[in-house]
Amino acid sequence: MWYRRLLLGVCLLSAVGCHQHPLTDYRPLDAAGMFSSDIEQLKGLNVSDAEIAQVVKLKHAGVSDDACVELVSTAHVHKHLFFSAESASDLVGARFTESQIIDIARADQLDAISIDAVTLKLIGLSDSTVQLVLQMHLDGKPVMASSEMSRLKNTGLTERQILDRINAGMTDEQAEKEIKSRESARNHKDTSFVRVRGRKAQ
């Protein structure tokens, strides 16, 4: 009796590990093209039907079997189920590598920074700058939002100038002030009065 109570207590302490899903339907994974050996790995992780649906989304996005298993496993390490297929798929669509996506997942940041990460790519910043900003996010260092970087670029700043501001620790508030200043100067220039000289009347 004491052994059963002890086992129950251990299971209650583990949000994921002891939660069994004996009736889980793994056929959608087979239909999505996942190899049987990788399906067996997911069975060992006790995935739920909801997680299987998430993995199917990953497969449709072109994520490899190994990466799918790693993403689910990493979520379980962080004591929660895997429900970040949409975030991971967005990163795939923005041409982030599976290695980069897994690094973000290992920091448990997939849903937190995926929108910012995709925006960085859409801005047209180089891979080295994107990687720098992502690493700052993963290290928990403050960095201005990608939306502010985009607006700074739209005011005419080069990537080098934006990178200088990132390295200097520019905040969102500071970026906002510079954006407004540059936009105001640009608008004033576009509407400046130009005197038209004409011929004098005879």
CB 85 within 8 A of CB 58: yes
pLDDT score recorded for residue 189: 72
pLDDT tens readout for residues 175-201:
999 999 999 988 877 655 555 555 555
CB 30 within 8 A of CB 42: no
Model confidence at 6: pLDDT above 50: no
Domain locations along the chain: 21-112
pTM score of the predicted model? 0.78
From the DSSP assignment, how many helices (H) and strands (E) are in the chain? 12, 0
Residue owning tokens 């994107």: 130
pLDDT tens readout for residues 162-179:
999 999 999 999 999 999
Query: Which candidate, 63, 72, 66, 61, places its Cα nearest to that of 17?
Result: 72
Query: Taking the CA of residue 85 as centre, how many other CA atoms within 13 Å lie in the half-sphere pointing to its CB?
Result: 21
CB 68 within 8 A of CB 54: no
pLDDT band at 23 (very low <50, low <70, confident <90, very high): confident
- Judged by phi (left if over 0) then psi (alpha if -120 to 50, else beta), residue 171 lies in beta
